[in-house]
């Protein structure tokens, strides 16, 4: 026999909206960042979290220095909240199934470079299912791996899968990583370069946690190579413009260089490059995908090549693999 609902406990947990707001604060570790993502003012977020804390009767977080840390009670409420919303999402999935997917929610996290092709995929999917609410998160690889481990989204896109998390994944697109420079660079057009010929150049790279940088670091470590001078910029577009201005060279995904010729960029012919990599979509191995996520996966597998500019992508990929990127 089902146990009767303990309404006293229900009242202590507060409203679902309060729990939702608290979960966002717990996820981001910041009232300010949570308010930005939720489109609320910081005082509104603080008030709702305080109401939930008052209802529980214990503080849910503490601020140490500039860091927000959950208390033991906060961690318990966070886990309970995640379980509650998991059940709510399962209910939403069941209802969507009955409605024939006329509504629902899809959350996707992608490493930054994937944003160059994701709109081509999402636009026709949203047109096919206009009632589905799509949430797209972008960030460096470390952030997306963190979201994967915390099971915050339905699907994730990587060019370098994490090795410490069990996932189910499928190949999506090749992702060659090439050494690039301005066409005005002194090494532009040179053939049969070795790493020793470029190691003293100023490298303009993403931060250590980015997918492309992880791939490059693995290659350098495995071959006992290194970069002498590295300028770190946390934006692919900013790196691209810095290379265009001949401030230095970079090692970048081919997708960032779709207009290499127009931008005055060229691929350097360096032994060992381009590095071979591939885009893969993934989810936690034990995760039960919602109906919306299943439909999106099916859409990717059956329609992606039709909606992506594959002719241009394959031309660029083949050029990169042959060391001819940016040549006339």
Do the beta carbons of residue 70 and residue 116 sit within 8 Å? no
Rounded CA separation 144/94 (Å): 28
Q: Is it the case that residue 160 has pLDDT exceeding 70? A: yes
List pLDDT tens digits, range 232-270.
888 888 998 999 999 999 998 877 766 666 678 888 989
DSSP state at residue 179: E
pLDDT at 135: 92
Tokens 């370069």, located at residue? 193
User: Which CATH class for the 7-80 domain?
Assistant: mainly alpha
Rounded to two decimals, what is the model's pTM? 0.61
Average pLDDT, the chain: 82
Domain 101-173+278-315 has CATH 3.30.160.250: no
Q: Which CATH architecture has domain 177-277?
A: 3-Layer(aba) Sandwich (3.40)
Q: 101-173+278-315 and 177-277 share one CATH topology? A: yes
**Mean pLDDT, rounded, for 81-91:** 81
pLDDT at 130: 87
Confidence at 25, pLDDT banded by 50, 70, 90: very high
Confidence at 119, pLDDT banded by 50, 70, 90: confident
Do the beta carbons of residue 255 and residue 277 sit within 8 Å? no
Stretch among 7-11, 147-151, 228-232, 289-293 having the lowest mean pLDDT:
7-11
Do the beta carbons of residue 214 and residue 140 sit within 8 Å? no
pLDDT at 81: 87
Which residues face 155 on adjacent strands? 108
Q: Is it the case that residue 118 has pLDDT exceeding 80? A: yes
Q: Where are the domains of the chain?
A: 7-80, 101-173+278-315, 177-277
Q: Is it the case that residue 313 has pLDDT exceeding 90? A: no
Q: Is it the case that residue 187 has pLDDT exceeding 90? A: yes
Instruction: Report the 3 state secondary structure along 247-312.
Output: CCEEEEEHHHHCCHHHHCEEECCECCCCECCEEEEEEECCCCCCHHHHHHHHHHHHHHHHHCCHHH
Confidence at 308, pLDDT banded by 50, 70, 90: low
Do the beta carbons of residue 101 and residue 132 sit within 8 Å? yes
Q: Calculate what percentage of the chain has a pLDDT beyond 70.
A: 82
Stretch among 98-107, 139-148, 211-220, 271-280 having the lowest mean pLDDT:
98-107
């Amino acid at each position: 026999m089902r146990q009767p609902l303990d309404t006293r406990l229900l009242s202590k947990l507060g409203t679902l909206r309060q729990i939702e707001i608290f979960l966002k604060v717990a996820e981001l570790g910041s009232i300010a960042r949570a308010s930005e993502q939720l489109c609320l003012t910081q005082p509104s977020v603080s008030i709702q979290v305080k109401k939930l804390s008052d209802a529980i009767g214990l503080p849910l977080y503490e601020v140490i220095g500039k860091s927000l840390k959950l208390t033991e009670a906060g961690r318990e409420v966070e886990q309970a909240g995640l379980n509650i919303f998991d059940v709510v999402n399962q209910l939403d999935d069941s209802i969507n199934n009955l409605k024939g997917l006329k509504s629902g929610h899809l959350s996707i996290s992608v490493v930054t470079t994937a944003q160059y092709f994701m709109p081509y995929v999402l636009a026709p999917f949203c047109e096919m299912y206009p009632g589905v609410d799509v949430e797209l998160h972008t960030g460096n690889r470390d952030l997306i791996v963190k979201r994967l481990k915390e099971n915050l989204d339905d699907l994730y896109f990587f060019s370098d899968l994490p090795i410490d998390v069990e996932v189910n994944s499928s190949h999506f697109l090749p992702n060659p990583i090439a050494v690039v420079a301005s066409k005005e660079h002194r090494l532009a057009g040179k053939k049969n370069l070795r790493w020793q010929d470029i190691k003293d150049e100023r490298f303009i790279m993403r931060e250590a946690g980015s997918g492309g940088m992880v791939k490059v670091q693995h290659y350098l470590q495995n071959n006992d190579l290194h970069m002498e001078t590295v300028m770190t910029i946390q934006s692919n577009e900013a790196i691209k413009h810095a290379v265009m201005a001949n401030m230095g060279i970079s090692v970048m995904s081919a997708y960032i260089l779709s207009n290499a010729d127009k931008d005055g960029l060229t691929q350097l012919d360096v032994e060992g490059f381009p590095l071979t990599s591939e885009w893969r979509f993934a989810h936690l191995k034990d995760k039960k995908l919602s109906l919306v996520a299943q439909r999106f996966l099916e859409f990717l597998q059956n329609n992606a090549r039709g909606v992506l500019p594959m002719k241009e992508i394959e031309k660029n990929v083949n050029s990169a693999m042959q060391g001819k990127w940016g040549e006339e």
